[in-house]
Amino acid sequence: MDRLVKVESISDIPKKFAGTPIGNLVEYHNLNKAFSNYSQAQLLIGMCMDNRKHLNIPDNFAFIIRSGGANLRYSEFKVSFAISVGGVKHIALIGHNRCGMVNLASKKDQFIDGLVTNAGWTKQQAEKQFEDYAPMFEIGNEIDFILSETVRLRKVYPKIKIAPMLYLVEDNRLYFIREE
């Protein structure tokens, strides 16, 4: 957790994000900044689909793409749409601790049994889906994945300002991830 930057006041926001839509995101969520009115999105938020996370942000403030582990590798058209048509110039990439996309192999039996019981799949269908897709969606360590995804996205979208962040489910707060 020494890789996280805690934000308890405006002065804690890293200078490169202060006064940007990314800084505003943290001010809204962590510092209860009064909501402004927006007619169009100011940024794109990429975050996990996990149901334990909810952001405190105004209406129309952000495009949000939710995918397991905040993995945007298979959502690049949507990212490109938000940038090209939506006009956003900032991305907040938000992972979270205790993510289900970490160590997927340990969830294989639960995954298979759940699809058999809940979806009516055969065991073979469920096994095949797990084997085909788990390697694509395994993220390893949450912080390391968010940092690597940030680097990847910066190469794809060099003019877009991207902030690697982590949401702690214990305190429902956003933290910046140190990039050193």
Do 61 and 121 sit in the same domain of this protein?
no
The pLDDT assigned to 144 comes to 95
pLDDT digits (tens, 9 = 90+) for 41-65: 999 999 999 988 899 999 999 999 9
pTM of the model: 0.94
Kindly give the pairing relationship between strand 62-66 and strand 173-177. unpaired
Q: What is the 3-state secondary structure (H, E, C) of 131-164?
A: HHHHHHHCCCCHHHHHHHHHHHHHHHCCCCEEEE
The pLDDT assigned to 1 comes to 61
Mean pLDDT of 103-119: 96
- Does 106 have pLDDT greater than 80? yes
Do 75 and 93 sit in the same domain of this protein?
yes
Owner of token pair 């992972």: 95
Do 12 and 89 sit in the same domain of this protein?
yes
Query: How far apart, in whole angstroms, are the C-alpha atoms of residue 96 and residue 50?
Result: 9
Do 128 and 154 sit in the same domain of this protein?
no
Mean pLDDT of 11-35: 98
- Give the range of the structural domain holding residue 64, as residue numbers without chain letter: 4-101+140-177
- Does 2 have pLDDT greater than 90? no
Do 96 and 111 sit in the same domain of this protein?
no
The pLDDT assigned to 180 comes to 78
Do 20 and 86 sit in the same domain of this protein?
yes
Query: How far apart, in whole angstroms, are the C-alpha atoms of residue 102 and residue 51?
Result: 16
Mean pLDDT of 109-123: 97
